Structure 1
Amino acid sequence: MTEHPAVRLTTAHSADLGTAERTAARALLYDVFEGDIDEHDWEHCLGGVHAMVWEGPELVGHASVVQRRLLHAGRALRTGYVEGVGVRADRRGRGHGAALMAALERIVRGAYELGALGSTDEAAGFYAARGWRLWSGATEALTPGGVVRTKDADGCVYVLPAAVTPDPAGGPLVCDWRDGDVW
């Protein structure tokens, strides 16, 4: 019989991650997203709470939630924005992604008015099955040059109602500015 290393889920703020943990998380995401990630994407993962799944000493899953402000219907909503969700390819299908998201969803529901994330087509069903709702309204970004329509983000932004349930009839969902992909 083969012995499997213990699986454990940890959560920690970016400030509490050691160099080895931070390096492992960055390397994992670069491996998971194979060329579809850059330093801006990694930076977007920092400054909030990281959930990490470990099998023994190996990091096999990562996700983080950071605070952002999304504007909707005349309000600036304190939003837990989920970033950097990835599970090593040879460890998928074992519930690691669900464990990561459960940890972050607890944080979103307890600390924010709303949860939001930008999904790949491949992950859309995963988020929808967890209760995340595809945002059916327009998306925009508050840029240094003013509010700009982000049509390319339409159809990939998901929200998780917490204290607030945004209604697409109330107008677009507008994200705050950041370098790289704004959503």
Structure 2
Amino acid sequence: MTEVRTAHTADLDSATLKAARALLDDVFAPDMTDHDWEHALGGVHALVWEGGELIGHASLVQRRLLYGGRALRTGYVEGVGVRADRRGRGYGAALMEALERVVRGAYDLGALGASDEAADFYASRGWRRWQGPTFALTPGGVIRTADEDGGIYVFAPAVPMDLSGELTCDWRDGDVW
């Protein structure tokens, strides 16, 4: 039997967090970093369990994105992964459905950085590719993040947004987007 559960990081025991990190290490090997893991903590996790085994993970953390002179409360998706031998069975969609419900109820918008391989999946769920230039608000000021252009997606914005406008993310260590 497969079960999708959601819980805040504070409500997950160390064994579950360890299992989630191991799953993401496997899914994203060799590119998963400690910063990537840190980015996935401090928010709501969606977890897919099959029996007592964790086979899928995604999380939603709060960030601020600057758009049109406003700092928007953003549910930012991190750490989406399904075990390789369980892909193509709808588990990724179940994870995203759980997080999208939270975005709609608690945030001004959802956002994520998508790999080329995952872009069609997110687009099929109603996530819209940001077409404008991207930036990051760093300790040294606002910097352009041109390498991220075309890879940022937004979901269910509560405010009208011109997807060709400028979008700036808040600062964090590691990958800023």
User: How does the TM-score come out when normalised to structure 1?
Assistant: 0.95
1:22 and 1:126 map into 2 onto residues whose CA distance is 26
Q: Give the secondary-structure state (helix, strand or coil) at the position aligned to 1:155.
A: coil
**In structure 1, distance between residues paired with 2:75 and 2:115:** 18
Write out per-residue CA displacement over residues 24-50 of structure 1, whole angstroms, 9 at most, x where no aligned residue: 000000000011110000000000000
Alignment-derived partner of residue 20 in structure 1 = 15
- Which one of 146, 154, 175 corresponds to residue 149 of structure 2? 154
CA RMSD of aligned residues (A): 0.8
Q: Supply the distance in 2 between the matched residues of 1:149 and 1:63 (Cα, whole angstroms).
A: 27
Q: How far off its partner does 1:95 sit?
A: 0.5
Could you tell me how far 1:168 is from its partner in structure 2?
A: 3.2
Whether 1:32 aligns to 2:33 is no
Name the CA distance, whole Å, in 2 between partners of 1:164 and 1:25: 33
Matched ranges for 1:75-114 at <5 A: 75-114=70-109
Of 154, 174, 181, which residue of structure 1 is paired with 2:175? 181
C-alpha offsets along residues 43-79 of structure 1, whole Å, 9 cap, x if unaligned? Answer: 0000000000000011000000000000000000000
Q: Based on CA coordinates, which of the two structures has the bigger radius of gyration?
A: 1
CA-to-aligned-CA distance 1:103-135 (integer Å, 9 cap, x gap): 000000000001000000000000000000000
Q: Gaps (5+ residues) in structure 2? A: none
Distance in structure 2 (CA, Å) of the matches to 1:112 and 1:123: 23
8 Å contact kept, 1:114–1:165: no
In the alignment, what sits opposite 1:136? 131
What SS does the corresponding residue of 2:61 show, helix, strand or coil?
Answer: strand
The runs of at least 4 consecutive aligned structure 1 residues that moved more than 2 Å come to none
How many Å apart are 1:164 and its aligned residue? 2.1
Question: Whole-Å Cα distance in 2 between the matches of residues 44 and 14 of structure 1?
Answer: 12
Q: What residue number does 2:166 align with?
A: 172
Any conservation in 2 of the 1:137–1:154 contact (CA below 8 Å)? Answer: yes
* TM-score of the two chains, using structure 2 as the length reference: 0.98
Are 2:51 and 1:43 equivalent residues in the alignment? no
In 1, the alpha carbon distance for the partners of 2:160 and 2:41 equals 26
Partner AA of 1:127 in structure 2: Y
